[in-house]
Chain A
Amino acid sequence: MNAVLRRNGLGLVAWLVGIVFFLPIAWMALTSFHSEADAATNPPSFAASLTLDGYREFFGSGGGASPWPALINSTVASVVSTVCVLLLALPAAYALSIRRVRKWTDVLFFFLSTKMLPVVAGLLPIYLFAKNTGMLDNIWLLVILYTSMNLPIAVWMMQSFLAEVPVAVIEAAQIDGARLPTVLARVVAPIALPGIAATALICFIFSWNELLFARVLTGVVAETAPVFLTGFITSQGLFLAKVCAASLVVSLPVLAAGFAAQDKLVQGLSLGAVK
């Protein structure tokens, strides 16, 4: 009896903590559907009438700048850099897991060590380089930088996914006369595909979230969504509903990608160290 009570009790505690952690997000979602007047009350109005005004404001109907260029820039930077990461990381991971180069662990740790170099370490030279070559405010510069930012994570993750492909299966296929492309497509890909997908989603999240590079290196043309968010509260008056709508819209792709990659999230964030 006591054990049953305790189990349910601790389950209840877990539920409570979960709700407390989620409360700011729930409140953000609710406020985004309130009018500005209802959003700025004390005590808070939970049951105010719902409206889409916050979203209309965010998407520029109120005369503010349209978020679409920034959202498109973010999409381009995140998607293209993720594709580049995959193109570079897949062959590299192959050479680090299936057909291993000598000292492959050293190479892996070199990749990891670049991830530990803070962004600010190279920010100024990159800025000066961009300024002198006319690459400032150019979305393709961000694509290159985001590729370098995510490549170590991707190499580590994919290495650990490809290493799960049993060597015996590959050898058996080769003995049966299968050529390398066939082996990759028929044997390696089916086993490694879920991992590759998760890697791509995680790279997408990190690129979408990035602020410092984008803030320093872009201006009007190549501005990304996070930069748009930071510059967007300039007007006087009430803006809470608008901020909530904006934050929610910008976070939606990350929430979707994150929940889709949920099972592999830890492995990616711990650079493959935790399975």
Chain B
Amino acid sequence: MSKFQAKVDRQGSKISVQLGGIIDEDADFTALAIKDAQEIVIDMDAIKSINSCGIREWIKWISEGDKSKVVYSKCPKVIVDQMNMVDGFLPSFAKVESFYVPYYNEDSGSEKNILFRYGVEYREGQVQPPPDVKDESGQVMEMDIIESKYFKFITSKV
């Protein structure tokens, strides 16, 4: 089990936060003060999981940045699921810069995460997945999600 990890890089009024591990009741966000920042970029590439207590801590923490421009970057599926389900997890002042979409080939069992980037694979109300995602053996992979549910945070903003 990987513990919660956080790394903060402050450059003037911009704060870059790298988060990783498990976000649960033991995750300590108190050291990640974001209240006075103008721009906050949160890199979530290394986040493994989040539970209901972690969600509570997250919403409490992210609500401090309500005066800032908050950017979610490289959101893994566990985060996207929470963005779709939990009101306040993706507050209105936050924007998703990129997120991962899991792909899967049932025949070979191969899995892959494809990073969807704002302005490329999606924009407000629209998702334009890459035409063909293939695994290393060249087999075509399909999205391992239910699109209507997974892209809800995009489509609902129309």
**Bound pair (A, B):** no
Hey, which bits of chain A sit against chain B, CB under 8 A?
A: none
